Amino acid sequence: MTTMSTPVGIVADTGSITTINPATGSELQTYPASGDAGIDAAIDASAAAQRCWATLDLAARGKVLASAAVVLRRRVQELAVLITREMGKPLNESRAEVEKCAWACEYYAEHAGDFLADEYVDAGGDRCWVSYEPVGLVLAVMPWNFPLWQVFRFAAPALMAGNGALLKHSPNTTGCALAVADVLAEAGAPDGLFAALIVPEPQVPATTARIIADPRIGAVTVTGSERAGVGVAVAAGQAIKKSVLELGGSDPFIVLADADLPRTAMLAAKARFLNAGQSCISAKRFIVEQPVADEFTRLFVDAVDKLVVGDPEADGVEVGPMARADLVDGIDRQVQQSVAAGATVLTGGHRLDRPGNYYAPTVLGNVKPGMPAYDQETFGPVAAVIPVADVDEAVRVANDTEFGLAGSVWTATPEKGVAVGKRITSGALFINAVVASDVRMPFGGTKRSGYGRELAQAGIREFVNTRTYVLNNEPPAQAPTSE
C-alpha cells in the first residue's frame, strides 16, 4: 500500500487528528490517535465480544439494532450537526442521512432471520443444508462523504450476522466515527463489539495491512477511492481474506429524445449536486440525444443556476462547501484542464470568493474524450454535457469509462429505457429515476468501481461463511467414487 500524504483540511500528526469545519476553516476538535497498543486492545476486545455475540440468537441481536434506530432518531439533530460541521453537507441532507441509518438498522433487525436461515437441500444425505455463519471481525475502511450512512450500511448487516466490527474512518470525520460507536453502545451492543480506530493518514497503509493480517479478521470492506481500494485489496489478497470494494464512479445519465425534458433537467441538477457532487453514484456525464441536446442543456443550466449555495447550517441552502481544501484544488484543476482542451463553461467553473471550501456549481459543454471531465471521475460540483447522435452512440459513450457503478436512462418509453440500459455495463441501472442506494436492493459496481455487494440479502451474505452440512443417520455402505 502506498504512503498517502495528509489532506489539507485535517491537522494530523502521529499522535492526534484535528478536524476542520469546511464551511469556515476553523478547527473543531482534536482526537488522540489509537496507536498500536490501542488498536491491539480494540481488536482483543472486539474478538472477545464477538465470540459471545455470535452465540446470541437473531432476536437478541435484532433487539440491539432496533434500539440503535431509536437512538439515531432521538439524536438526529445532534448527529446531523456533527456531519455538517465535519464534512459540509446541508443540514437537511445530514438529517436524511441519519434517518437512512435508522432504517438500515430496523431493516436488518427485521429481515436478517430470513436472509440467514438454513437452506435445506436434497443432496443425497439423510439431511443436507447450507448455513450462514459469522466470519469473526469485519474491518471497514470508510470515507467522509456519507460518514454515518456508509458505516451503518456495512455495520448493520455485519453485526446481525454475528460478527464484530472495526472501523477505520476518514480522519476528517473522526467525530462521526466515534458517534457511531457511541450510538451502538447506547443501544446495548456489548462493550468493544464495534470499535472506531483513530489512525492519522500517514499511518493508514501500514496500520490497515497489519490489522488485515490478524487471524481474527475475517473480511474487509472498503468504500473510497481506487487507490484506497487497490491498497486494501492487495493486503486482503496477501492475507487471503475476503474483501468488498465500493469505489469510484462516472455514472452516465442518458437523456433520450422522447424524455420529459423539464422534469428530467430538474432531477438532473438534483442528481449531480447532492452533497456538492461528492458521491460515487451521482450522475456525472449527461449524455443527450442531439435533437433535444440544446433544450435539455438550457433547462439543466437554468436549474443549476437556481441552486442555493451557502452556509450548510442555514435554512434553504442546497449546496454547501466541499469537504476539504485539497478537493477544491482537485476539482478546479480538472475543470481548467478540460477547458484548456476545448470544453466550454456553461455556468460556474470557478471557486467562490468566500471563506471555506466553496466551488461554484459547474456545467461544462463540448466535453470530449481526452478531457478530465470525460475520462476521470469528477468528485465535486461539476457536470459534463455530451451530445450524441443516437442511441448507439449514447451506449458507446456510456461504456467508454473504466468505471461501472450505476447509470440512468430517461425516456417516455420505459421498455426502450430498459433495452438501452441492458447494453450499459454497471452494477445498477435506473429508468426515469435518480440513482440512490436502498437497503432493500443490492448495491455495488463492476469494472474499476469495485466488486461485491452491500445491502439487501446479498449484502449480509458477503460477511458470512457459507457452510455446507451433510448428515447421515448412519455411515453409508460405500464411499463416493469421485471427490
402 is catalytic: no
Instruction: Single out the catalytic residue among 97, 246, 289, 462.
Output: 246
List Cβ<8 Å contacts ≥24 apart for 298-301.
Answer: 299/261, 299/262, 299/265, 299/266, 300/265, 300/268, 300/269, 300/363, 300/383, 300/385, 301/346, 301/347, 301/363
Residues 61, 154: Cα–Cα separation, whole Å: 15
Residues 6+ apart with CB under 8 A from 159: 53, 61, 64, 65, 165, 184, 189, 193, 194
Strand order of the β-sheet with 10-13 is 10-13, 16-20, 27-32
Q: DSSP string covering 163-227, please? A: -EEEEE--GGGHHHHHHHHHHHHHTTPPTTSEEEE---GGGHHHHHHHHHHSTTEEEEEEES-HH
Residue with cell 475520462: 375
User: DSSP characters for 316-359?
Assistant: T--B---S-HHHHHHHHHHHHHHHHTT-EEEE--SB-SSSSS-B
280 catalytic, yes or no?
A: yes
Which residue among the candidates 280, 289, 318, 462 is catalytic per the annotation? 280
Packing angle of the helix pair 91-115, 149-160 (nearest 10 deg): 20
Contact 435, 282 (CB under 8 A): yes
Strand partners, 386: 287
Catalytic site residues? 246, 280
